[in-house]
Every structure is written in structure tokens, then in C-alpha cells.
Structure 1
Amino acid sequence: MSSKMVINQPGPVMYMQTSADWGSGICDCWDNKAECCFAFWCCPCFACKTTERYGEPLCLPLLEYFSGIIPAITMSMRVSMRQRYGIHGSMCNDCLCATCCNPCVWCQMSREMRRRDAAVILVNSKFT
């Protein structure tokens, strides 16, 4: 009678360590020039596209035209993104950034989504 020994090796394990800071600065728009130009020349369209990618209603940023001086939708999206990804910051800083440079904030949020939602593909090779 023969016995067969089977040894199972553990598979590859990969974990992604995320930072508690934004992946890029508010003025790092030149990381993606096409996106930067799109946000600068047509910020409402870019904001709608980014909001939809984030999982919110497409036309939500258009409500910003009724919010007055402080861009409430941009600020609330930034706060929501900080909470979702565990990014440190304050509502005061979010308000200041959203008010002073709205297109730059939308570009930063788009870059952050792309960075954080990157699919990780593990390849497991078997020797036979």
C-alpha cells in the first residue's frame, strides 16, 4: 500500500497599504494634462463625469449653481471622499480648497479615485 503526500503551498498574498493623505496635491494637475484641460475649460462637465464615477447622481454638481458663494457640492464630495478613503483633513480646509480652486479640487478627487480604485491582479502560476 502506498501513501501519497500532498503539500499545499500558501498562495500569494498582497495587501495595499493606503496613506492617510491625499495621493496628490491640489496643484498637481499636470500629472494628467488632458484631464486638467477638460476640468479647466468645462468644469461642470468634468465634475458630472467624476461624480458619476464616484457613484453619485450624474447631475449632482449642477446643483452647485444654487448654493451661493461656497461650492457646497464640491465641498461635500471632497468630505465624502476623505471619509471613504480615510484621508485626514478638515471641513475648513475642504471649504477653502473648493472655494479657491474648484477645477483643481475636482482633478485631485479624480486622481485619488483612480489611485485608490486601481484593480490589483494577482497571477498564480502552478507547476505541473
Structure 2
Amino acid sequence: MVTSGQWSTGLCDCTKDCSSCCLTWWCPCIAFGRTAEVVDKGTTSCCAHGSLYLLLAMFTGFECLYTCMYRTKLRQQYLLPKQPCNDCLVHCFCKPCALCQEYRELKYRGLNPSYGWKENMSKHSQGVVMPPVSHGEMKC
């Protein structure tokens, strides 16, 4: 299992998880919404986060300012370092890779963002915990 203080995968390790990679490249608003719901521990829904992301992307192009806040929250929850640089710079210049890394991080830590916060907590309380995802190369 992954420990606090280190990222489970690197920023450019998108090929480590084919499903996360495809989701974040083709539907970033969904990937971000799912991640944000889990990071916020269910206080706001995936739909609300994803919709705000989409509106910001369509009308301002500055959705990276919104998404970088959740990278910071995720880092603080797991005591992760700022890598390779400041969270806002990572999201402004490499947003798809950042979203993919964050989605993978939650999965590697036993929280599947596609389940949402409530279902993840329900599975954990029942003793059903996702096994960690393999760190091997993707086989599509």
C-alpha cells in the first residue's frame, strides 16, 4: 500500500492505469468531479464539481485555477510533496496529467473515485477494501 509523504506514481505515468488515463483525457470534467467529491469527503457532489469545471472551461478557460485547489487539498490530506512544482503551475501547464495522477492516487490508496464518497465509505465500513492497483505498465 502507498504511504503518506510520497506520490504513488509520477505526473507523467498516465500509462499506469488505462481507464483513468482515458477518462481524464476525454472527459476531464467527470474525472475532476469524481476526484473532488472524494477529496471533499462528499460535501459537494461529483456533478456539481464537474459542472462548475465545464462552465469554467467553456466560458473562461481558467478551470486550472479551480482544479489546482483540489490538488492542494489532496496533497495536504496525504502529506504529498509539491512535485514537480507548484500545484497551480502543474494544473495550468499539464492539467490532463495532473488530473490523471490525482485520480490514480485515490485509487492506489483504496478509494475508487468512480464510486463516489458515500459508496467508498460504505465499502470500507463493510470491510470491502479495493486492493491496490498494480504499478506495472498498462496492458490495453
TM-score where L is the length of structure 2: 0.62
- One-letter amino acid matched to 1:42: C
Conserved? CA contact 1:30–1:36, under 8 Å? yes
- State the alpha-carbon separation in 1 of the partners of residues 96 and 4 from structure 2: 23
Displacement after TM superposition at 1:109 (Å): 0.7
Identity of aligned residues (%): 33
Aligned mate of 2:76, from 80, 83, 102: 83
1:78 shift after superposition: 0.4
Residue 43 (1) aligns with residue 32 (2):
no
Of 62, 66, 82, which residue of structure 2 is paired with 1:69?
A: 62
8 Å CA contact retained: 2:2, 2:109 = no
How many aligned positions are there? 105
Deviation at 1:89, TM superposition (A): 1.9
User: In 2, are the aligned partners of 1:60 and 1:73 still within 8 Å (CA)?
Assistant: no
Specify every segment of 5 or more residues in structure 2 that has no aligned partner in the other structure, as ranges: 112-128, 132-140
TM-superposed deviation, 1:26 = 0.9
Query: Greater shift after overlay, 26-35 or 70-79?
Result: 70-79
1:6-45 to 2 correspondence within 5 Å?
18-45=3-30
Q: Which residue of 2 aligns with 1:107?
A: 100
Any idea what the Cα deviations from partners look like across 1:13-37, whole Å, max 9, x if unmatched? xxx6714121111111111112211
1:17 and 1:50 mapped to 2: Cα distance?
18
Letter in 1 for 2:88: C
RMSD, aligned α-carbons: 2.7
Aligned to 1:12: none
Between stretches 49-58 and 71-80, larger displacement belongs to: 49-58
Aligned to 1:60: 49
- Give the stretch that moved more between structures: 69-78 or 95-104: 69-78
Alignment partner, residue 122 of structure 2: none
AA in 1 matched with 2:65:
A
TM-score (norm 1): 0.67
CA contact (8 A) 1:21 1:88 kept: yes
Which has the higher mean CA deviation after the structures are superposed, 46-55 or 32-41?
Answer: 46-55
Structure ranking higher in helix proportion: 2
Q: Bigger radius of gyration, 1 or 2?
A: 1
